[in-house]
Amino acid sequence: MTTSAANVLSRDALVDTCAGALVQSFADYNAEFRSITRRAPQRFDERDWRGSLRDAVERIELYDKCVNRAVHQMQVRLGEDVTERALWSSIKRRFTELIDALPDLEFDKTFFNSVTRRTFGTIGVDAAVEFVALDLDPIASVKSPIETNVYVNRGSLELLFEEVLADFRFRTPYLDFDRSIRTISNEVRAQCEVDADASKPPLQVDQIEIIRTVFFQMTRAYLVGRISGPGWQLPFVLALQNTESGVRIDAVMMDESTVSILFSFTRSYFHADLAHVGQAIVFLKSILPRKPVSELYTVLGRAKQGKTERYRELFKHLQKSEDQFVHAPGDKGLVMICFTLPSFDVVFKIIRDRFAYPKNILREEVQKKYEMVFKHDRAGRLVDAQEFKRLKFPAARFSKELVAELQDEAANTVHFEDGFVIMDHVYIERRMTPLNLYIRNASREDAEKAVLDYGQCIRDLAVTNIFAGDLLLKNFGVTRHARVIFYDYDELCAVTDCRFRDVPQSKFDEDDMRAEAWFHVNDNDVFPETFMQFLGFDQHLKDVFLKVHGEIMTAEWWRGIQQRLRDGEVLEVLPYHRHRVRVFSSL
C-alpha cells in the first residue's frame, strides 16, 4: 500500500470515528435526558417537589454540558485539524448516513450544529459544516402516530372514564375512584353543553384518545388527549394532584385556550418520557393548531430544538415577507434595544453598550438574570427568552431608525458587514402588547381585568421566589389570552434576597420635603407601600387594584411570603383555573 493510499485510509477512518463519536455523544445526552425525565413519576408518587425542581434544573443544564464534552473530544481527536472545514464536511456526510434510521434525527443534527458552531464560532450559517435549519422539518419525518389509548363511549360516560382511570394508575391510589369518575363525567357533560350551539343539543361524545405517556409538570400530572363526537373534536386534558390523602382530579380541560396556556411559553418544561418526540408534536398540533412547533418542542424540554425550530420559522418567514425590522411598540428601554418584524410574532432584544441613569448594572449581570429565568419555575408569568448568538440578517430589512440606534447604542454587539447585520448576542421571545399601552387602549372592563391580573402576576412571581424589581406597567405584557406576563429582567431578583421595609415615620416636616430619602437605604431594601406611586393608574383603576391586591403594598405581606419560602414550603401556581370548584371541593 502506498503512503498516499494509507493517508486516505487513515483520513477515512478518522472521519468515521469522529462521526460515530458524535452520534454516540448525542445518544449519551439523550439517554441521560430521558433518565432524568423518568424520575418524574416517582417524584409525583412521593410528593417530592423539591426533587422535581432539582431535576428540572439538572435537565436544562445537561445540554451545554454534553455539547462542551463533545467539543473537547473533537479537539482531542482532530488536534490541529479541528478547524479544517473540508474534514468537517466529510464528518457531516458520514454523520448523516449514521443517523438516517433514527427517530427524531433532527435532534442529532441540531446537536451536531451546536458542536460545529462552538468549534468554528460560526456567523450566520455555514452549510459546509452544519445542517441548515431551513432544510430541517421534524414534523415531515414523522412516519407513524404516537401510541395512544382509544376509549369508545358505549352509552355511559361513567363507564368510559372508568376505563380511562383504570389504565392510568399511580403507586398512590385515587382519593375516591368512583367519585373521581363522577367528577370527570359531570364536568364533560357541562362543557359539552357550553360548547353546543344554542339551537342544537349538547355535543355527543363518541370517543376519547389519550397519549399513553403521562406528562408531569411541577406538582401535577396530566393525561393529554382529545375528545370527539359527530363533526367535532376538542382537546382533552385531565390534571391530577397527589394529595396526602391520595390522587384527585384537579381539573378537566376541554378548550383550546386553556390547554394552550398549559403548554405556554411562560410555563416550566414538561417531564414526559417520549421515545419519539416528533410524534407527540404532531398530536399536540392537532389539538393546538395555533401553537408554533418551536414552542411545543421547548415546553417538552427540548429547548435547543425549540431554538432551531424558531430559527427555521423566522427565516422561512423572511423569505416570503417584505416588511422591515422596526422598534417594538412601547416605551424605550434603558437596558435593551427592542425591535420586531411586524408580520412575525416575536420580539428581539439586544443589550445596550451603556445604560443610562438610573440603571446601575453590568452587562454580565443582565445575562445572569436571563439565565436565572431560563432555569427557574416561570409560573406562567415569565416569558421564555431564547438566547441566540451570531445571527445574520440582510441589512435592507432594517428600518433607518433602527439601524441608527443599533450603530449608536449596540456597536459592541451588532456589526454591519457586506450588506448584512450580524448580531453577536440577541434574545428572542414572543411578542406581547405592553401593559401600559393595553390599558390605554382597552375598554374599561378589559382594563380592569388587566389591572387585576397584573396584581395576580406579582403574587404568582412572589410565591415562586421572584421579585420583579421594576413594577412599571411598561415592563409587563398582555398575551392573546389576556394574561399579564413579566418580560423585563434587568432588576429581577429573588424575594428571599430582598429586605422588605415599612417607610420610617419622619420626625421633621422638612424630611418629607426632601427629593432623596432622609433615612439610610441599602441596595436590597424594598418599600412596598411606595409601589403605587410609580404605576400610573387613574383613580378608578387604583381603587380596583387596591380592593383586591392591597396587601401587596405592605411589607408585612412580602415578609410572610419570604418566611414561607425560607421554611422550604413549595408554593405552587397552577396553569389553569379549577373548573366548577364546587364540584371538585367535594373530593
Residues designated catalytic: 384
- The length of the chain is 587
* 3-class DSSP string for 141-186: CCCCCCCEEEEECCCCHHHHHHHHHHHCCCCCCECCHHHHHHHHHH
Fill in the amino acid letter for 188.
V
Fill in the amino acid letter for 508.
F
408: number of Cβ within 10 Å: 11
Per-residue CA distances from 306 to 293, 313, 385 (Å):
8, 10, 11
Cell of 260: 394552550
User: Strand, coil or helix: what is 565?
Assistant: helix
Do 125 and 133 meet the contact criterion of CB atoms below 8 Å apart? yes
Q: From the centroid of its chain, how far is CA 56?
A: 13
Angstrom distance (rounded) from CA 367 to CA 388: 12
Q: What angle do CA 393, 395, 397 make, to 5 degrees?
A: 80
Q: What angle do CA 440, 445, 450 make, to 5 degrees?
A: 60
Nearest residue to 397 via CA among 416, 373, 425, 377: 416
Pairing status of strand 484-486 against strand 433-434:
unpaired
- Please count the CA atoms within 13 angstroms of the CA of 246 that sit on its side-chain side: 11
Do 191 and 204 meet the contact criterion of CB atoms below 8 Å apart? no
Cell of 318: 423572511
